[in-house]
Amino acid sequence: MKHLHDGTGDGEESPPPLWKQPLVAAVIMIALIGAFYLLREHWDHLVGNWVYLLLLACPLMHLFHGHGGHGRQRARTFLARAEMVTARESKSPHAQTSPG
């Protein structure tokens, strides 16, 4: 018996999320185990050079953070200001209407 709670009513099930698929889950587990052993073997090197790793994190965060956020904010601000100007102009008593 299928229970559909998404409201579509078409009877089709959506595919499971990517991380719940068996092959992807296995790859994630292997990567975590490998990271554990890598950190275990090289912990002394990491602790001794943590300052350099922190400095390396800054440019990496800059590269991978995603630069789209600032542009979208500017666009919203621009559109909001344009709407305010048009609303102000339409309410202005000095607005002239052309005889038609």
Residue 98 has pLDDT above 60, yes or no: no
Question: CB of 17 within 8 A of CB of 8?
Answer: no
Residue 87 has pLDDT above 70, yes or no: yes
Which residues have CB under 8 Å from 13's CB, separation 6+? Answer: 2
pLDDT of 36 reads 95
Give the C-alpha separation, 73 to 50, whole Å: 35
Residue ranges of the domains in the chain? 18-90
The CA-atom distances, in angstroms, between 19 and each of 4, 6, 12, 22, 53 are 22, 21, 20, 8, 29
Per-residue pLDDT tens digits for 21-69 = 889 999 999 999 999 999 999 888 888 888 888 888 888 888 887 665 5
pLDDT of 7 reads 54
pTM for the structure as a whole: 0.39
